[in-house]
């Protein structure tokens, strides 16, 4: 039985172990940010009163956002995956690779705002709403410089 599994692994691993294609990296990156957008969308709805405030749900959403903000996503920034090379497949601007330190700093600011949100997410609507707003400002700051208006 084990031998069969090993044989199957030996057959599949080489197929998986090739360098990532630029298109796949861009798609993974978009997927990553879509997850960020999903959690933030739910938090934003709660912050703006479109959804009822629920302390446990707010804490869970903030915690998921924290996991995402801690994801070390250098692999998603493979060179050759900007919207110059992959027109129509990504909104990532070449400026990301021209100013990697600033891009990273914008990512750090996002991470700090998310950490601060986690401190107060369960403390009532009045405490969480401004913290969600501060996270949103860090999304916008990065998008303004590094995300194209369209694909």
Residue 62 within binding range of ligand HEC, rule CB under 6 A: no
Minimum distance, C-beta of residue 139 to ligand HEC, in the bound complex (Å):
3
Q: Looking at 4-12, 50-58, 88-96, 123-131, which segment touches ligand HEC (CB under 6 A)?
A: 88-96
Q: Looking at 9-17, 50-58, 119-127, 132-140, which segment touches ligand HEC (CB under 6 A)?
A: 132-140
* Nearest residue to 132 via CA among 118, 148, 146: 118
* Nearest residue to 60 via CA among 118, 114, 109, 108: 118
Residue 47 within binding range of ligand HEC, rule CB under 6 A: no
The dihedrals phi and psi of 88, each to the nearest 5 degrees, come to 85, -10
Distance of CA 98 to the CA centre of its chain: 20
Nearer to ligand HEC, 36 or 46 (CB): 36
* Max CA distance (Å), the chain: 59
Q: Looking at 14-22, 55-63, 89-97, 123-131, which segment touches ligand HEC (CB under 6 A)?
A: 89-97
Footprint on residues 103-122 left by ligand HEC (CB under 6 A): 103, 106-107, 110
Residue pair 110/139 in contact by the 8 Å Cβ criterion: yes
Residue pair 19/91 in contact by the 8 Å Cβ criterion: no
Residue 128 within binding range of ligand HEC, rule CB under 6 A: no
**Helices vs. strands in the chain: H and E counts, helices first:** 6, 0
Nearer to ligand HEC, 127 or 148 (CB): 148
Interface with ligand HEC: number of residues (CB under 6 A) = 22
- Non-local (6+) Cβ contacts of 79 within 8 A are 97
Interface ranges with ligand HEC (CB under 6 A): 26, 29-30, 33-34, 36-37, 40, 90-92, 103, 106-107, 110, 135, 138-139, 142-143, 146-147
């Amino acid at each position: 039985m084990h031998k069969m599994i090993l044989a199957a692994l030996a057959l599949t691993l080489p197929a998986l172990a090739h360098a990532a294609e630029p298109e796949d990296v861009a798609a993974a990156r978009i997927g990553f940010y879509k997850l960020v957008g999903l959690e933030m969308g739910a938090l934003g709805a709660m912050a703006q009163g479109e959804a009822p405030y629920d302390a446990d749900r707010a804490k869970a959403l903030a915690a998921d956002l924290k996991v995402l903000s801690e994801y070390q996503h250098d692999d998603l920034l493979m060179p050759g995956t900007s919207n110059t090379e992959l027109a129509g497949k990504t909104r990532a601007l070449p400026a990301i690779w021209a100013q990697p330190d600033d891009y990273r700093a914008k990512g750090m600011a996002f991470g700090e705002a998310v950490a601060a949100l986690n401190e107060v997410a369960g403390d009532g609507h009045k405490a969480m709403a401004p913290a969600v707003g501060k996270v949103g400002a860090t999304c916008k700051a990065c998008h303004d410089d590094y995300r194209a208006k369209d694909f």
